[in-house]
Amino acid sequence: MIKVKAPISAKIIFLSLTVFISGCGGGSSDSEPEAITPPPPVAKTELTPAESSAFLNRATFGATSESINELANSNVEDWLTSQRSQPISRLLPYILSLPNQEEIFAGHRVEGWWLNTVKGPDQLRQRVAFALSEILVVSDQNDFLFNYQNGMAAYYDILLENAFGNYRDLLEEVTLSPAMGVYLSMLGNQKPDVENNIRPDENFAREVMQLFTIGLVELNLDGSVKTDTNGAAIPSYDQDTIEGFAHVFTGWTFAGASRFRRAEVNAIDPMEPWEDYHDTGEKILLNDFIVPAGQTAQQDLTMAMDNLFAHDNVAPFISFRLIQRLVTSNPSPEYISRVATVFNDNGQGTKGDLWAVVVAILMDEEAMNGANTRPNVFGKLREPLIRTAHLFRVLKAETLLGTIPFRWPDYVFGQSPQRPKSVFNFYHPDYQQPGAIAEGNLYAPEFQLSTANNLTGMHNSVLYFSLYTNDGSGVINDDDILVDTDDLELLAADHGALVDELNLVFIAGQMTESMREEIIAYLDLIHPHVPTRTKVLEAVLLILTSSEYAIQR
């Protein structure tokens, strides 16, 4: 079980306070000293190595031996504080540092993404930003964005910079991002022009409600659907609302452009308004909120963002999706409600504090102990990108140049950062895998990626990175991704110890005894002349392609 302890700092504060008070005047020497009640010590959460591994597998791109030891010898609160203060490992600076800027393509951005997610010290921020990228989706499957990878990187940096900020601020920065403006066609959206048969584009207006803030139906705080007297779900908006927002989102184009239409491309800086193309008429938004006529594009946008953010659905809608991305596909209503409550008020009267929300998600009782208290429904399928990043982190994968040029993972296992096929992400949050999961009315979003081809590609990539790189038999090229097995080879003579270490870092000590015995028995069959490195990597391969590793718990 998870333990808590009173930090030494609390005792020091109390002693210092006592010394200070005893040295102060204010009473006669004959008076009795007033009794001082010490402040209660602040409890901090200690974890065992196995609990640390499970926590890190939710909060980072995968536990490593080093990160497990660090957390197990400290506490969760101090680890979180340290992560919050880590410098941001941004993506755009990597893109801009590359030579031949005219020849930058998607693979370069993905290479930079691997470097940050695998090697970046700001692991929690990287994991949260990745989760946000699958909610606030922009994809370079769009032909225009495919050719402007600096814009894609700039968009991802918005997610990184706001991962611990306020969701209201993030929402507006995302809205004004040129990448989002292009992807959901707000950029160049203009006021009605009957003579030229021009009507405001409704694309972003629809998706900002359906996917980024409130969803299709009214929700209770615990994420359950509100119904009318006939038991039917209550829609959260209608076509008139979409049109109201569409009219708000008019008049924006690339920053610094000399013309509104066919403007010069600036894929990095926030879009700027051109008032002549903005609809200044009255608009009606959510809950019959009226945006008055005669305002500027920015004034209308501010009111629209405030109107969206004020809706009661935002807290349960976004909380549920973040829980799914970080912890479990099927959180209990109580878990959602607890996190949504923090979303609505961080304890200081502020709504939308993502730092408070992330802490609430990761430190919730269900997150910490759900594998034991809800064993039949707790957990989530690990996405291919997360599984690969975990392998790279444990085995310190990189080239001789310090890069990780695995540039086209979508060709291998159907997933690449910022490359889903649609704004609905790689999978839907309410996807139900046919069979036992659907019959149990459970969700399994990531299973939507688990096609036969993608699973084969996933396992083949693990096989390749585990066994066929840096095997000592040939020339090592600058772009060969090498893995480091030195520390694990020190354990290889004791097959039980080796499997136990891999069990800890990859499966958080949750491996069943039958699986452990089978892997040990397999290793026992390997001929003594086989290189120790090969034996280690065979064990890694067996674990990473197992169903027990596939589910993060």
**Residues 305-322 pLDDT 10s:** 999 999 999 999 999 999
DSSP string, 367-382: HHHHHHHSTTT--EEP
Q: Alpha carbon of 465 to those of 7, 149, 480, 544: distances in Å?
A: 43, 27, 10, 12
Collapse the DSSP code of 88 into the 3-class scheme (helix H, G, I; strand E, B; otherwise coil) and give the result: coil
The DSSP bridge partners found for residue 97 are none
Q: How confident is the model at residue 153 (pLDDT cuts 50, 70, 90)?
A: very high
How many other β-carbons are positioned within 10 Å of the β-carbon of residue 539? 25
CA proximity to 285, closest of 333, 329, 236, 323: 236
CB-based contact 323:59 (threshold 8 Å): no
pLDDT, tens digit, 9 for 90 and up, residues 233-245: 999 999 999 999 9
Give 363: exposed, middle or buried? Use CB within 10 Å, 0-12, 13-18, 19+.
middle
The C-alpha angle with vertex 498 and arms to 497 and 500, in degrees rounded to 5, equals: 65
Q: In angstroms, what CA-CA distances link 229 with 56, 185, 232, 233, 235?
A: 45, 38, 7, 10, 14
Other C-beta atoms within 10 Å of 20: how many?
9
Task: Single out the residue of 215, 151, 150, 213 nearest to residue 182, CA to CA.
Answer: 151
At residue 455, the 3 state secondary structure works out as: helix
What's the mean per-residue pLDDT of the chain? 92
pLDDT of residue 475: 74
- CA angle, residues 186, 187, 191, in degrees to nearest 5: 70
27: left (phi over 0), alpha (psi -120 to 50) or beta: beta
Q: In a 10 Å sphere around its CB, with 0-12 CB exposed, 13-18 middle and 19+ buried, how is residue 441 labelled?
A: exposed
Q: If residue 239 lies in a helix (H) or strand (E), which one and from where to where?
A: helix 239-248
Please state the separation of Cα 166 from the chain's center in Å: 15
What counts of helices (H) and strands (E) characterise the chain?
27, 8
> What tens digit of pLDDT does each residue of 53-73 get?
999 999 999 999 999 999 999
- Which pLDDT belongs to residue 2? 52
Q: Name the amino acid, one letter, at 397.
A: A
| DSSP reduced 3-state for 101 | helix
Dump pLDDT digits (tens) for 170-203: 999 999 999 999 999 999 999 999 888 999 999 9
Largest CA distance in the chain: 94
Residue pLDDT, tens place only, 198-233? 999 999 999 999 999 999 999 999 999 999 999 999
**Predicted structure pTM score:** 0.92
Q: What is the pLDDT of residues 353-381, one digit of tens each?
A: 999 999 999 999 999 999 999 999 999 99
Phi, psi of 46 (to 5 degrees): -95, 145
Question: 228 and 234 in contact (C-beta within 8 Å)?
Answer: yes
What pLDDT shows up at residue 43?
Answer: 84
Q: Alpha-carbon Rg of the chain, whole angstroms?
A: 26
φ and ψ at 284, to 5 degrees?
Answer: -115, 125
